[in-house]
Amino acid sequence: MANTILDISHVSKRFGRFQALDDVSITIARGDIYGLIGENGAGKTTLMRLITGLSPMQEGRISLMGSTLGQNSRILGRIGSVIETPAAFTRLTVGQNMKLVAIQHGLIDEGAIDETLGFVGLSEKTRTRAGQLSLGQRQRLGLAMAILPHPDLLILDEPINGLDPAGIMEFRQLLARLSKERRTTLLISSHILSELYLVSSRFGFISHGRLIKEVTREELDRVNQAGILLDVDQSARAAMILDREGITPFQVMDDHRILIRRQHLEPGPLNRLLVEEGVLVNHINDQKGSLEDYFMDLLNHDPEQRGPATQDHRNQGGDND
C-alpha cells in the first residue's frame, strides 16, 4: 500500500531464553499517530529498536516506506527517533548538537535549526551546553534533533517519562502540532494509556511480547465513557423509549447496545420499563469507563491463551470485554 509508512510483519525477538517479541504484526499508515501501550518490559522498546535498526532482526520483516529494513540503511534517514533516553553530546551546546544532526543528514538550510528549536521551545537555550539542560529540556532537544530532518515517521519511546505535569501537557501539544503542521506520522510508546489517549489516533496493546489488541481512537472513546450499558434485542426501539422517558443522554452504539451516559441509574426500574414496552433486555452493565481499567483488563488475560496477534484485532471494537 502506497499509504503505508511502516509494515511490521510477524516479528519475533528472543534474548536467550526470554521471548521479548512474539509474532508481532502492525501496519501504520501515513498520518497515523499510533500509541503503543504496554507495561514495563512488554516489548515496546525492543520493537522500536528493531524498527530503527538498533537491534538485529531475528524473525519476521519490517518494511519502512516500502523498503525492507536491513536492505537499505539510507531509509533510516527518513525516520526520526528518540529511543529510551535522548542522547546528545553533553559538552556541545544545543545549537552545536543540532548543527551536528544537520551535517549528518546533509541539511543545508541554516534557518531550519532555529525554526526547529523554536518549534520545541528551546530557542533561548541555543548556547547552553546539552549537559546543563533539565530532563524536560533534554527531551525537547531529543525531539528537536529527531524532527530536524523532517522525518516521514517519528518514533518516540516513553517521551513523557520523568516530565512534570506541565511538561507533559506541553509535550502533548508539541506532538499534536507535529502531526497537524508537519503531517508527521508518529509511533509513541507509553505504559500510561490515559496519556497516549489524548494524542493518538490508533492504539496497539502489547503484553509479554505479544500484540494483544489494536483499537482506533473512536473505539476507545466508547470505552472511555462511564454509564449504563444496555444489551437489548432492538436498540432503535429502546432508544425511542429512553428518549420519551427523558433518560438521557445516551448513545446508540450498534443494533443491540446503548450506552446511557448517566451514573447512579437504578437498573431494576430501567429493565422493567424496557420489558413492559416489549424490548428484550439481555444485559445491563455498569460501565466504569476508565482507560486504565480497560488496559488492566486486557493485561489480566493470559496472553498465552490468545491466538497470534494480527491486524484482525483492529476492528474488534473497544468495548469492555
Partner 1 sequence: MINQIRADFYRQRHSFGMMLLLVCTVALGIWSTWSKTTIGISTGGPEYSHRLLEITNGTWTVKTGMQLGADSATTLIYLYIAVFVIVIGCEYSQHTLKNTLTSGISRIQFILGKYVTILADILLLTLCYFISILATGLALGRKPGATWAVLCRDTATMTVSVGFCISVIISLGIVLLVLTQSTVLPAVLIVVWPILIGLLVTNLNWKWLKYLDFVGFAEQIAIGTLKVYQAWIYTGVSLGVVLASVIGSALILSRKEI
Residues at the interface with partner 1 (CB under 8 A):
49, 52-56, 73-79, 81, 83, 85, 87-92, 96, 99-101, 103-106, 145
Least distance CB 137 / partner 1 (angstroms): 17
Give the sign of the dihedral formed by CA 207, CA 140, CA 110, CA 91.
negative
Q: Which is nearer to partner 1, 90 or 248 (CB)?
A: 90
Helix/strand/coil (H/E/C) assignment for every residue in 130-194: HHHCCHHHHHHHHHHHHHCCCCCEEEEECCCCCCCHHHHHHHHHHHHHHHHHCCCEEEEEECCHH
CB of 301 to partner 1, least distance (A): 30
Q: Would you call 265 helix, strand, or coil by DSSP? A: coil
Choose between 103 and 280: whose C-beta lies nearer to partner 1.
103
b/e sequence 16-39, b meaning 16+ C-beta within 10 Å: eeeebbbbbbbbbbbebbbbbbbe
User: Would you give the DSSP letter of residue 75?
Assistant: G
- Measured from the CB atom, is 53 or 121 closer to partner 1? 53
Contact assessment for residue 208 and residue 18, using Cβ atoms and an 8 Å cutoff: no
- Nine-digit cell at 19? 521471548
Min CB(97)–partner 1 separation in Å:
9
Residue with Cβ nearer partner 1 (96 or 225): 96
Least spacing, CB of residue 32 vs partner 1, in Å: 20
List Cβ neighbours of 224 (8 Å cut-off, separation of 6 or more).
197, 289, 290, 291, 294
Which residue number, 11 or 270, has a Cβ lying nearer to partner 1?
A: 11
Separation between Cα atoms, residue 203 and residue 317, nearest integer Å: 12
Least distance CB 224 / partner 1 (angstroms): 34
Helix (H) or strand (E) holding 295: helix 291-300
State the nearest-atom distance from the C-beta of 317 to partner 1, in Å: 36
Q: Which is nearer to partner 1, 91 or 183 (CB)?
A: 91
